Amino acid sequence: MEYVSAIVPPLVMAIGFGFLVRAIIRSQGGAQKGKEDAAVDAMQRAAAARQPAE
């Protein structure tokens, strides 16, 4: 049973690292990115509407 106790810590670390990478990737964009893009577009439209027509 020594092989089980030898493989468990690296396996736990690998699973934890996978969750960490997943959390980092999710925080870098995803659904938030669409909301941010929509907010920027709305601000640009509002700024364009305030500009006098030439």
Short-list 53, 52, 34, CA closest to 42? 34
> Could you tell me the two tokens for 22?
């997943």
Give residue 53's identity as a one-letter amino acid code: A
Q: What is the pLDDT of residue 3?
A: 87
1-54 pLDDT, tens digit each: 898 899 999 999 999 999 999 998 888 865 555 667 788 888 888 888 877 655
Q: What is the pLDDT of residue 12?
A: 95
Q: What is the pLDDT of residue 49?
A: 81
Give residue 50's identity as a one-letter amino acid code: R
pTM, rounded to two decimals? 0.49
Map out the domains of the chain as residue ranges.
Answer: 2-50
